[in-house]
Amino acid sequence: MSGTSPHALVKRSFALSGHRTSVALEAEFWEVLTTLAAERGLTLSRLVTEIDAARAPQRPLASALRIFALKRGDHASA
């Protein structure tokens, strides 16, 4: 057994609005987001950029990504 928690955060970096930013999410959320991006013919980076552009300014990016994955990724668990 590994010492890493099964729900450990995985950090990814993106260029958004001309600057680099890192987002830490659980691996399960990254899996859903990657699948949703592929289904739309997008890269993960492009999907994150679109979610970032559409989110309310007061909502953290990590929260916006989790909500997007939950709302649109429910078919992934079926």
- 5 belongs to a structural domain: no
Tens digit of each residue's pLDDT (9 = 90 or more) over 9-60: 999 999 998 899 999 999 999 999 999 999 999 999 999 999 999 999 999 9
Q: Residue 4 — pLDDT band, cuts 50, 70, 90?
A: low
Residue 2 lies in a domain: no
Domain extent for 33: 10-73
Number of domains within the chain: 1
pLDDT score for 48: 97
Phi-psi region of 63 (alpha: psi -120 to 50; beta: other; left: phi over 0): alpha
From the list 23, 25, 50, 24, the residue with the least C-alpha distance to 36 is 50
Question: Does position 5 have pLDDT exceeding 70, yes or no?
Answer: no
Residues with Cβ within 8 Å of 7's Cβ and at least 6 positions away in sequence, in order, are 26, 27, 28
Phi and psi dihedrals of 3, rounded to 5?
-80, 0
Contact 40, 47 (CB under 8 A): yes
Kindly state whether residue 3 falls inside one of the protein's structural domains.
no
